[in-house]
Chains A and B, each alone.
Chain A
């Protein structure tokens, strides 16, 4: 199947700093990608839809100024967590649909904010 990668796989940062997470579709192009957040023992929560060439759309309750999304190309979307705080510590996962509408997920990025 198609492959979606994320970088980094794990990141630790200090409170108040910003962290960028990359999501790449390795063998297909994706005009749309999705970002999720998952807290321990909970399900995935959709945060936002990343759109190539236009602004991201955010789910209700997700702060767009805190979670900046840029869909730089047909194979790359980035999520920047700005002014991170300990409560932003979570598992962040991206996904991208192929031409057949099968959604493939990245391996996730574990963010720890100290």
Chain B
């Protein structure tokens, strides 16, 4: 699976949009981009995933660059409960295909 690079930490003001970047310059054509988050002492929570088109759901939006070498997760109106470690993972889909977690980005949402 392709390696991803994320900033170690980011701050965001409550109510503002949080934009979390991820670099995956060695991504291959059949690998998807997945985003998960982990709130302290809990299991990771699925947020969103995509291949090459931008995706949006009730939690977030995923913007993937045209060359697919990077992506951005957008939380449109961050709340204090969005404080968590956010993981960007690149992988080929399939139930037998594993998720390997990098170090992620600690998002601190501040009042």
Q: How far is the CA of A52 from the CA of B49 in the complex (A)?
A: 26
Choice from B34, B46, B103 contacting A1 with Cβ under 8 Å: B46
Q: How many residues of B contact A (CB 8 A)?
A: 22
Stretch in B62-70, B75-83, B93-101 touching the partner: B93-101
Q: How far is the CA of A104 from the CA of B43 in the complex (A)?
A: 9
Main secondary structure of the interface of A (DSSP, over half): strand
One digit per residue, 1 when the CB lies within 8 angstroms of any chain B CB and 0 when it does not, for chain A 46-60 equals 100100000000000
B41, B45, B96, B99: the one within 8 Å of A91 (CB): B41
User: Are B42 and A108 touching (Cβ within 8 A)?
Assistant: yes
The count of chain A contact residues (Cβ–Cβ below 8 Å) is: 26
Distance between Cα atoms of A106 and B45 in the complex (Å): 9
CA distance A40 to B103 in the complex (A): 12
B104 touches A105 (CB 8 A): no
Interface string of B10-49 (1 = CB under 8 A from A): 0000000000000000000000001010100111111001
* Residue in A6, A46, A101 whose CB lies within 8 Å of B94: A101
CB-defined contacts of B101 to chain A, threshold 8 Å:
36, 43-46
Of A30, A32, A93, the contact of B44 (CB 8 Å cutoff): A93
Q: How far is the CA of A44 from the CA of B73 in the complex (A)?
A: 20
Kindly identify which residue among B44, B49, B93 contacts A105, using a CB–CB cutoff of 8 Å.
B44
Q: A39 CA to B110 CA in the complex, in Å?
A: 26
With A34-B99, A46-B99 as given contacts, are A106 and B43 in contact (CB-CB < 8 Å)? Answer: yes
- Chain B nearest Cβ from A2, distance in angstroms: 9
Enumerate the 9 nearest inter-chain pairs by beta-carbon distance, A residue then B residue, closest first: A105-B43, A44-B101, A97-B95, A105-B44, A43-B101, A101-B93, A107-B43, A108-B43, A93-B43
